[in-house]
């Protein structure tokens, strides 16, 4: 494979074809089902699927089949299959994954930007979903087309683009089971839905945190009463909620207090965290829009990397029962409720974490208040299997060819439910988990953008790895993965990135 030719082909494909498609994709408000209960009737998801399907069918990939699969009552899935080419093997399989559903709008966008308003500015394409994860289908096929241009051999490839990832991928297990015979036994899984520490080298994700949480409520009254009359007699629901949260989190340090929510960090992951800290420096926290004077949670940069990737952490992402400041009267409110988002260590079981939350928060309600916890999320994280030497060499070669820098490895703080499921279904598969979500790209938040040069380089890197996969297969260094007997074990797990 001639890396310079791949580089030129991919850059041209992005500039002339992919970026214009992503501009149109960003205009579509196809929010994930968790954020749009009427997604089917609204038709935005169908619009996004149609855009990608139409583009894929127009691409000159010999023998490719493109299909929209939709099981009853479920979100649609795009299934693409590309036969082996130029001497590659149809008995082996590379599975490439992405998603097309989006997070909701979120407030705080700059005046000239917006979630459904694509804006090209320098090397950035602003708008919701371009980087998370609309580019995946375009990047996957562009990588294969770059190989076809040079007649480089590759194995049979399957591309799965789901429409439920931001809601926890709860539909995906049914599709993987439904398509199991057609997918086969992939020996390499490529996921383009992750992040990068910088835009200067190829980053591969070695672990993902799990997620547990839901709505915690404390009720003390049937209706609000005069605070001058009741305060000092009726306990504040807010104060009681603070007591409950202190059962699971040290309010001084943020450390999670429930032992079962922690896990030991493997030695290799400790080394990777230290190396990432050396490379990134203060960019570990500088990338966030911190208010002036705010100090990060630890002075040791490696500890910050580990806090973000291997340690549990609690966020309160929503509040109910609290009026806005301009409408708050002198009333002792009847209830306070918060939405808890608890990131879990990669190897902690998500369902057990939910049980531990219930045990900690529902026992012995303070002052006999009515305490409720409605669990919404329970997703186990993922820790990558040991990387085969061929894949490590291929990833590093790709980074040096297209970035001029060695590859880097680091865990991510978010969740990709598909990875844990795939790890169970195909225990022999190797994983290349990468992406374009780097500093300031702000996935899920305001002013989200896709860094276009990073998209091009990730695409070219995927082409290199797929080409090396064929050579490794010829040398007998890859093995197909068998379907695990408990392949449906994650069906009840819910949790989004």
CA gap 89, 312 in Å, rounded:
42
The answer to the question of residue 326 being in a domain is yes
Residue that the structure tokens 């090209």 belong to: 120
Q: State residue 323's pLDDT score.
A: 96
User: Is there a single domain that holds both residue 219 and residue 77?
Assistant: no
User: Is there a single domain that holds both residue 198 and residue 230?
Assistant: no
User: Is there a single domain that holds both residue 115 and residue 53?
Assistant: yes
The answer to the question of residue 268 being in a domain is no
Q: State residue 426's pLDDT score.
A: 84
CA gap 353, 349 in Å, rounded:
6
For residue 322, give the CATH number of its domain: 3.30.70.360
Q: State residue 486's pLDDT score.
A: 37
User: Is there a single domain that holds both residue 197 and residue 340?
Assistant: no
User: Is there a single domain that holds both residue 330 and residue 467?
Assistant: no
DSSP secondary structure string for all residues of 171-200: THHHHHHHTHHHH---SEEEE---B-S-SS
Closest Cα partner for 458 from 433, 435, 430, 428? 435
The answer to the question of residue 267 being in a domain is no
For residue 42, give the CATH number of its domain: 3.40.630.10
User: Is there a single domain that holds both residue 327 and residue 445?
Assistant: no
Q: What is the pTM of this model?
A: 0.87
**Ranges of the chain whose pLDDT falls below 70:** 479-497
User: Is there a single domain that holds both residue 360 and residue 439?
Assistant: no
User: Is there a single domain that holds both residue 38 and residue 158?
Assistant: yes
CA gap 364, 371 in Å, rounded:
9
User: Is there a single domain that holds both residue 430 and residue 459?
Assistant: yes
User: Is there a single domain that holds both residue 122 and residue 55?
Assistant: yes
Q: State residue 298's pLDDT score.
A: 95
Q: State residue 468's pLDDT score.
A: 97
The answer to the question of residue 488 being in a domain is no
The answer to the question of residue 269 being in a domain is no
**Tally of structural domains, the chain:** 2
Q: State residue 483's pLDDT score.
A: 36
User: Is there a single domain that holds both residue 192 and residue 248?
Assistant: no
Which structural domain, as residue segments, surrounds residue 129? 3-208+381-474
Tens digit of each residue's pLDDT (9 = 90 or more) over 59-74: 999 999 999 999 999 9
DSSP secondary structure string for all residues of 254-311: --B--GGG--PPPHHHHHHHHHHHHHHTTHHHHTS-PPTTPPPS-S-HHHHHHHHHTS
The answer to the question of residue 254 being in a domain is yes
Query: What residues does 320 pair with on adjacent strands?
Result: 337
The answer to the question of residue 289 being in a domain is no
User: Is there a single domain that holds both residue 422 and residue 392?
Assistant: yes
The answer to the question of residue 272 being in a domain is no
Q: State residue 417's pLDDT score.
A: 72
Q: State residue 423's pLDDT score.
A: 80
Sheet containing strand 370-379, strands side by side: 313-320, 335-344, 210-219, 370-379
Tokens of 231: 């305060």
Q: State residue 184's pLDDT score.
A: 94
């Amino acid at each position: 494979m001639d890396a310079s030719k791949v580089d030129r082909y991919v850059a041209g494909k992005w500039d002339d074809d992919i970026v214009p498609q992503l501009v149109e994709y960003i205009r579509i408000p196809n929010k994930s089902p968790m954020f749009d209960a009427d997604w089917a009737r609204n038709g935005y998801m169908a619009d996004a699927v149609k855009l990608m399907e139409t583009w894929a069918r127009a691409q000159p990939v010999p023998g490719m089949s493109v299909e929209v699969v939709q099981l009853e009552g479920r979100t649609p899935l795009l299934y693409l299959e590309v036969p082996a080419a130029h001497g590659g093997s149809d008995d082996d399989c590379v599975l490439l994954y992405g998603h097309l559903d989006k997070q909701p709008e979120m407030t705080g966008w700059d005046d000239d930007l917006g979630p459904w308003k694509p804006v090209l500015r320098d090397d950035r394409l602003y708008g919701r979903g371009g980087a998370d994860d609309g580019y995946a289908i375009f990047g996957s096929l562009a990588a294969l087309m770059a190989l076809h241009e040079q007649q480089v051999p590759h194995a049979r490839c399957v591309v799965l683009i789901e429409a439920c990832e931001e809601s926890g991928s709860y539909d995906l297990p049914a599709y993987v089971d439904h398509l199991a015979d057609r997918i086969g036994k992939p020996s390499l899984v490529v996921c383009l839905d992750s992040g990068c520490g910088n835009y200067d080298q190829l980053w591969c994700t070695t672990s993902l945190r799990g997620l547990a949480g839901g709505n915690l409520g404390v009720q003390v009254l049937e209706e609000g009463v005069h605070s001058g009359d009741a305060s000092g007699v009726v306990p504040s629901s807010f104060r009681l909620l603070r007591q409950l949260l202190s059962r699971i989190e040290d309010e001084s340090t943020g450390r999670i207090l429930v032992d079962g929510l922690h896990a030991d960090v493997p030695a290799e992951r400790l080394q990777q965290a230290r190396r990432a800290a050396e490379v990134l420096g203060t960019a570990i926290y500088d990338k966030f829009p911190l208010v002036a004077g705010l100090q990060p949670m630890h002075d040791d940069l490696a500890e910050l990397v580990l806090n973000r990737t291997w340690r549990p952490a609690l966020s309160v992402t929503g509040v109910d029962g609290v009026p806005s400041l301009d409408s708050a009267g002198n009333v002792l409110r009847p209830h306070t409720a918060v939405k808890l988002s608890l990131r879990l260590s990669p190897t902690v079981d998500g369902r057990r974490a939910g049980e531990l939350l219930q045990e900690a928060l529902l026992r012995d309600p303070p002052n006999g208040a009515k305490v409720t916890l409605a669990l919404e999320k329970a997703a186990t994280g993922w820790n990558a299997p040991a990387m085969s030497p061929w894949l490590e060499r291929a990833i590093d070669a790709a980074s040096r060819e297209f970035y001029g820098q060695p590859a880097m490895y680091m865990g991510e703080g978010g969740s990709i439910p598909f990875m844990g499921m795939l790890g169970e279904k195909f225990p022999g598969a190797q994983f290349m988990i990468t992406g374009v979500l780097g500093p300031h790209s702000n996935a899920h938040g305001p002013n989200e953008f896709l860094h276009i040069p990073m998209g091009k380089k990730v695409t070219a890197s995927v082409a290199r790895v797929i080409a090396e996969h064929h050579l490794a297969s010829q040398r007998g260094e890859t093995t197909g993965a068998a379907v695990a007997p408990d392949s449906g074990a994650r069906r009840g797990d819910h949790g989004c990135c």
